[in-house]
Amino acid sequence: MERKEHKARNFRLSMVDASSHERLWSLRFSQTTMIVAITSAVVIFIVGLFCIIAYTPIRTFIPGYPDAYSRRQAIQNAQRIDSLETRIIQWQLYSENLRRIVTGQEPIRMDSLILGSKGSSALPSAKYLELRDSLLRADVSAQEQFGVSSQGRILPIEAQTFFPPIKGVISNAFDATVHPWTDITAPAGTMVMSVLDGTVISTGWDQDKGYSIILQHKGDIISIYRNNQKLLHRVGDNVKAGTPVALLASSPSLTKGDHLHFELWYNGRPADPAEYISF
């Protein structure tokens, strides 16, 4: 019996002038070469599409991805919830004082809660405030559509939802060259909050800047809080976003007034907090 030999099939792609039948361009290839070329083109297209989506702002056009508008809405909702919680606490204190007055007991001093006086037993502890904010954090986490915390995915700074460290007015804006931080005016004794979940990596005291606390966050983000009269956490403590970390101190300078010295660092460089946080 004769054995038939199967030869590799070759192909030729040519471009021919329709009038003169002159061959203008020609390409010879085999079946294997064609399969390798098509596979390589598909792989390059998929890798290029992934890079465009992952490393360019075009990812914000994906339905459900947290953009600037959704972050702003989350911050506004958090502020409304915080205001409602404050109103509820005020009514609770009013009811407690009314009960104490009726029973002949000494009422709770309201200014001790606002100014954080040292001798009052009514000043809430850091653990109490952290428990009070746990409901707010749980509500915000439940509204996340991508489950960032559970999947361990680190979002860029543009996609982070920052809590304002303090509610006030910017008295001295950020300048990358001469003033790489932001000054926010607020009454002395105001609670200073953590802007993100993080860990305390440094604390200290300076004659000019008072007590300072530095937090390390995911995504190579660092936040620094200065001009404080009291710190509520130590080095190594883990804190949640919106948790009190310090009490604002009174400023010795009459020109600057009471203010928080706030710094935000990203990838080793100072960032303008006003671009990501609504004070």
Q: From CA 219, how far away is CA 136, in angstroms rounded?
A: 23
Mark whether 88 and 18 lie in a shared domain. no
- The region of weakest confidence among 73-82, 97-106, 114-123, 136-145 is 114-123
Identify the domain boundary among 22, 46, 61: 61
> Tokens 């200290």 sit at which residue?
204
Mark whether 86 and 24 lie in a shared domain. no
Q: CB of 209 within 8 A of CB of 227?
A: yes
For the chain, how many structural domains are there in total? Answer: 3
Mark whether 33 and 132 lie in a shared domain. no
Mark whether 50 and 82 lie in a shared domain. no
Mark whether 136 and 185 lie in a shared domain. no
Give 13-36 pLDDT, tens digit per residue: 888 888 887 888 888 878 788 888
The sign one gets for the Cα dihedral 243, 245, 250, 252 is negative
Mark whether 18 and 108 lie in a shared domain. no
158 in a domain, yes or no? no
4 in a domain, yes or no? no
The pLDDT-based confidence of 253 (bands split at 50, 70, 90) is low
Give 61-102 pLDDT, tens digit per residue: 676 666 666 767 777 787 788 778 878 877 877 787 777 777
Give 214-248 pLDDT, tens digit per residue: 999 998 999 999 999 999 999 999 999 999 999 99
Mark whether 179 and 231 lie in a shared domain. yes
2 in a domain, yes or no? no
Q: Taking the model in full, what pTM does it have?
A: 0.48
Q: From CA 78, how far away is CA 39, in angstroms rounded?
A: 49
- The tokens describing 58, both together, are 């075009």
User: Could you list the residue range(s) of the whole structural domain that residue 103 is in?
Assistant: 65-153
